[in-house]
Amino acid sequence: MDKTDPILITGGTGMVGARLVEQLSADGFSNLLVTTRNDLDLCDEQSVDRWFDQHRPRYAFLIAAKVGGIAANIADPTAFLSDNLKIVVNQLGACHRVGVEKVLLLGSTCIYPRECPQPMKEEYLLDGPLEPTNEGYALAKIAGLRLAQAYQKQHGMKCVLPMPCNIYGTNDHFDLSRCHVLSALVKRFSDAVTDGADEVVLWGSGIARREFIHVDDVVDGMLHLFENAENGEIVNLGPGTDVSISELAGMIAEETGFVGNISWDTSRPDGMLRKCTDNTRLSQLGFRTKIALRDGIRRTILQYKQICQASISDATGATAQTTTRRVA
Ligand SMILES: NC(=O)c1ccc[n+]([C@@H]2O[C@H](COP(=O)([O-])OP(=O)(O)OC[C@H]3O[C@@H](n4cnc5c(N)ncnc54)[C@H](OP(=O)(O)O)[C@@H]3O)[C@@H](O)[C@H]2O)c1
**Three-state SS at 172:** coil
Q: 210 labelled as ligand-binding?
A: yes
Q: Do the domain assignments include residue 269?
A: no
How much of the chain, in percent, has pLDDT values that exceed 70?
96
Query: How confident is the model over 21-49, as pLDDT tens digits?
Result: 999 999 999 999 999 999 999 999 999 99
Query: Does 44 fall in a domain?
Result: yes
* Closest alpha carbon to 153 in 94, 105, 96: 96
Q: Report yes or no on 259 lying in a domain.
A: no
CA torsion through residues 107, 111, 117, 123, sign: negative
Strand, helix or coil at 163?
Answer: strand
Domain containing 225 — which CATH number?
3.40.50.720
User: What is the position in ligand 1's atom list of the atom closest to the CA of 43?
Assistant: 31
135-165 pLDDT, tens digit each: 999 999 999 999 999 999 999 999 999 999 9
User: How far, in Å, from the CA of 10 to the mean position of ligand 1?
Assistant: 9
Q: How many CB atoms lie under 10 A from the CB of residue 16?
A: 25
Neighbours of 47 (CB within 10 A): 14
Report yes or no on 82 lying in a domain.
yes
Contact 279, 290 (CB under 8 A): no
Structural domain total, the chain: 1
- Asked if residue 264 belongs to a domain, the reply is no
Is 184 inside any structural domain?
no
Q: How far is CA 196 from CA 148, 250, 251, 260, 305, in A?
A: 51, 18, 19, 9, 16
Q: Is residue 163 part of a domain?
A: yes
167 is known to lie in a ligand binding site: yes
77, HSE (Cβ side, Cα atoms, 13 Å)? 9
Q: How far is the CA of 16 from the centre of ligand 1 (A)?
A: 7
Query: So which residues are the catalytic ones?
Result: 137
| Best residue for ligand 1 mutational test, from 21, 22, 37 (most atoms within 8 Å of Cβ) | 37
**Atom number in ligand 1 closest to CA 67:** 20
What is the tens place of the pLDDT at every residue in 253-284?
Answer: 999 999 999 999 999 888 788 999 999 999 99
pLDDT of residue 73: 87
Q: Are 5 and 60 a contacting pair, CB within 8 Å?
A: no
Domain of residue 58 covers: 7-171+211-237
- pLDDT string in tens for the chain (328-residue length): 999 999 999 999 999 999 999 999 999 999 999 999 999 999 999 999 999 999 999 999 999 999 987 788 889 999 999 999 999 999 999 999 999 999 999 999 999 999 999 999 999 999 999 999 889 999 999 999 999 999 999 999 999 999 999 999 988 888 887 778 899 999 999 999 999 999 999 999 999 999 999 999 999 999 999 999 978 999 999 999 999 999 999 999 999 999 999 999 999 888 788 999 999 999 999 999 999 999 999 999 999 999 998 887 777 665 433 332 332 2
> What is the number of the ligand 1 atom nearest to the C-alpha of 87?
31
Q: Which helix (H) or strand (E) holds 309?
A: helix 293-315
- Distance, in Å, from the CA atom of 240 to the CA atom of 118, rounded to the nearest integer, reads 10
Ligand 1 shell residues, CB under 6 Å: 11, 13-17, 36-37, 41-43, 63-67, 83, 87, 106, 108, 164, 166-167, 180
In a domain, 167, yes or no: yes
Q: Is 9 annotated as belonging to a binding site?
A: no
Annotated binding-site residue? 117:
no
Q: pLDDT at position 317, please?
A: 65
